[in-house]
């Protein structure tokens, strides 16, 4: 069977990418709706963007209401504003939440019905032009055909898909990530690491996605800690911005697996940020997944230098898990308990979480595919 490999139409990346984006933006529309959040306004990133739009003679409106992980309600209001202001394309400036919200707004502009109608299906038609300008290094949403929106009625994070959700233009400018505080840097960085490792160890992995996944892993192991400790380390920020993009390209084509599958229910029910719930799960999920699939995990361990090239696959797999535990420790990743999750409530929703995880389809991409019982066991193991 042939593999499909899809990426954004154009990627503009590197230092000062945003300041050079005017001509590219002009090709995509004349009245932009900027999807963003309040932090982007106060950090000055929105002002940087609007200056570029002004210079390129592009009109714009600002919708700065994505102030948490995106919900169906935010998407609904975004569409109303887009129509009211007669916009003709979308620019998402912010973290993964903002870019995901932009994609869903674009999708529901050109597709009938409601967001949950598209669960398990695909947005088939074209969307308005989408421009993704990430300000964190992690979600890779600038390069993917996915968006995750909270269904507020059913408390489910809906994973929605369609090739049209891939941005027409991704502007990856590491300078925009300087304003991300250490916690966000850590959570987003671990999200990218999860994308890369899951992509490389997915049943749907393919030679092209493998290259991007391994390259991302190398950059993350060499630079995430530096970006966390010293936010103005431009070299580390540049490496992480690239790694996030590469990891996004990788999982866009080979899917995520058990970590993301189990992460979304924790996020939906306990409102844990996406990258953090991945980080909480990473070691335990991968310890499960590595069994019987040591070779793929050992490849990552060797390529990133967390172990010598000459170890056996089983030693390599172990070394990778150990390196991940270490990295999470260095990045101050809290446990469920220290984050303040109510243990009693957690144990009462284990069954729903496991059901929702399986329903998303992601766990089934894991080489060692977990059953419901095994998923529940991993959830339980997070309490030590």
CB nearer to Fe ion: give 97 or 129: 97
Shortest Å, Cβ 199 to Fe ion = 11
Residue with the two structure tokens 């998402």: 92
CB-count exposure of residue 32 (10 Å: 0-12, 13-18, 19+): buried
Residue nearest to Fe ion (CB): 191
CB nearer to Fe ion: give 8 or 316: 8
Per-residue burial over 90-101, b = 16 or more CB atoms within 10 Å of its CB, e = otherwise: bbbbbbbbbbbb
Shortest Å, Cβ 262 to Fe ion = 12
Assess 246 for contact with Fe ion (CB under 5 A): no
Sign of CA dihedral 365, 371, 374, 378: positive
Binding mask 143-182 toward Fe ion (x if CB under 5 A, else -) reads: ----------------------------------------
Q: Can you name the residues that pair with 160 across neighbouring β-strands?
A: 147
CB nearer to Fe ion: give 79 or 279: 279
Binding mask 301-330 toward Fe ion (x if CB under 5 A, else -) reads: ------------------------------
Which range binds Fe ion by CB under 5 A, 24-32, 183-191, 216-224, 290-298?
183-191
Number of residues lying near Fe ion (CB under 5 A): 1
Which range binds Fe ion by CB under 5 A, 79-87, 187-195, 308-316, 329-337?
187-195
Assess 142 for contact with Fe ion (CB under 5 A): no
Sign of CA dihedral 20, 23, 28, 30: positive
Shortest Å, Cβ 191 to Fe ion = 4
CB nearer to Fe ion: give 107 or 193: 193
Shortest Å, Cβ 256 to Fe ion = 7
Assess 191 for contact with Fe ion (CB under 5 A): yes
Shortest Å, Cβ 274 to Fe ion = 6
The C-alpha atoms of residue 374 and residue 370 are separated, in whole angstroms, by: 6
CB nearer to Fe ion: give 141 or 168: 141
Shortest Å, Cβ 42 to Fe ion = 25
Shortest Å, Cβ 348 to Fe ion = 26
CB nearer to Fe ion: give 260 or 302: 260
Shortest Å, Cβ 202 to Fe ion = 13
The C-alpha atoms of residue 189 and residue 202 are separated, in whole angstroms, by: 20
> What is the binding site for Fe ion (CB under 5 A)?
191
């Amino acid at each position: 069977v042939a593999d499909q490999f899809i990426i954004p139409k154009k990627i503009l990346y590197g230092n000062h990418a945003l300041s050079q984006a005017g001509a590219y933006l002009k090709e995509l529309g004349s009245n932009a709706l900027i999807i963003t959040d309040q932090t982007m306004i106060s950090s000055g990133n929105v002002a940087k963007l609007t200056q570029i739009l002004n210079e390129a003679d592009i009109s714009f409106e600002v919708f700065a209401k994505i102030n948490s992980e995106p919900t169906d309600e935010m998407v609904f209001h975004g569409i109303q504003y887009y129509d009211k202001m007669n916009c003709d394309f979308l620019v998402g400036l912010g973290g993964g939440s903002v870019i995901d919200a932009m994609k869903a707004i674009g999708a529901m502009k050109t597709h009938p019905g409601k967001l949950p109608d598209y669960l398990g299906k695909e947005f088939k038609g074209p969307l308005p032009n989408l421009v993704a300008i990430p300000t964190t290094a992690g979600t890779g949403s600038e390069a993917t055909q996915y968006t995750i929106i909270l269904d507020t009625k059913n408390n489910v994070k809906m994973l929605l898909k369609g090739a049209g959700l891939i941005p027409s233009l991704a502007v990856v400018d590491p300078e925009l990530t300087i304003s991300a505080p250490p916690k966000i840097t850590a959570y987003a960085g671990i999200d990218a690491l999860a994308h890369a490792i899951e992509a490389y160890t997915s049943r749907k992995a393919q030679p092209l996605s493998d290259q991007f996944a391994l390259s991302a892993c190398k950059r993350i192991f060499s630079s995430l800690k530096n970006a966390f400790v010293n936010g103005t380390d431009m070299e580390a920020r540049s490496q992480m911005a690239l790694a996030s993009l590469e990891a996004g390209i990788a999982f866009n084509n080979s899917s995520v697996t058990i970590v993301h599958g189990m992460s979304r229910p924790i996020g939906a029910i306990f409102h844990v940020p996406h990258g953090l719930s991945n980080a909480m799960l990473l070691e335990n999920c991968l310890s499960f997944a590595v069994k019987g699939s040591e070779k793929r995990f050992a490849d990552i361990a060797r390529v990133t230098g967390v172990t010598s090239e000459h170890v056996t696959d089983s030693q390599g797999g172990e070394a990778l898990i150990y390196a991940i535990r270490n990295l999470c420790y260095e990045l101050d990743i809290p446990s469920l308990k220290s984050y303040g999750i109510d243990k009693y409530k957690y144990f009462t929703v284990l069954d729903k979480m496991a059901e929702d995880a399986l329903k998303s389809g992601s766990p089934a991409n894991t080489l060692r595919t977990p059953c419901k019982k095994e998923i529940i066991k991993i959830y339980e193991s997070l309490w030590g």
